[in-house]
Amino acid sequence: MIPAISLFVIVSLSALITRVAAIALAHTGLSTEVARFQARSAYTGTGFTTSETEKIMNFPVRRKIIHSLMLIGNAGIVTTMSTLILTFVLPNSTSNLLWGLFIIIVGMAIIWWAVQSPWVDKYLSKVIGKALKKYTSIEVKDYASILHLAEDYRITELRVDEDSWLTNKSLNQLALRKEGIIVLGIKRKDGQYLGSPNGSSLVKTGDLLTMYGKEEVFLNLNQRKRNLVGELEHQEQMRKEANN
């Protein structure tokens, strides 16, 4: 039974650590989804890509968070596996095995509730935000709150394909603001970046657009093709936005 309790404590600490790290990363400007993925990837040692690594390496606070997660994760995974073996491979009796299973099942349920709890997330966000401001020299903002990334509002990236409705048009021609979308930046295929582009900025094939707006519009825009149907979808989205 002791190994089962130990396993519950270890998994609880692991979940808490990754949750704290994810909130800390979100406070540095990453979206909540990306922050959680980065935290879990660092803790388990998997999942990074080159572009995501650059986002971490170019920000000192993020580097410290990820580095700490990697160190803790290496020790935590090994300890968890060892405790799991002790729980199921070397039980003293059947009753101990059953108690161990019970503790693990109940413990996992409690951990799952805590991970999904908005109250826990809200409380940790406040504590971590204060800690980052107090113990780091870099100004950290909660960009999710500043940009109101809630109620279906998102920041997303969209790669412009050759047959996309967006390609070879200026932002004025696209009139995305009338659909409720703001283009924050355009990254060209050659690496050039246009921050806060103006209406005359041309969208080209291969561009990576950074945009702010409603998720449902992004989904429609991502599938919109350069034809009459695509233009009709644009007109429909503008009508919906005008009626809101």
Task: Give residues with Cβ within 8 angstroms of 173, minimum separation 6.
Answer: none
Which of 148-152, 168-172, 222-226 has the least mean pLDDT? 148-152
Hey, is 208 helix, strand or coil? strand
User: Cβ distance 181 to 152 under 8 Å?
Assistant: no
| pTM of structure | 0.48
Instruction: Give tens-digit pLDDT for 10-49.
Output: 666 677 777 777 777 777 767 777 777 888 787 777 655 5
- 208 has a pLDDT exceeding 60: yes
- 231 has a pLDDT exceeding 80: yes
pLDDT band at 78 (very low <50, low <70, confident <90, very high): very low
- Nearest-10 Cα torsion for 40, 46, 47, 50: 120
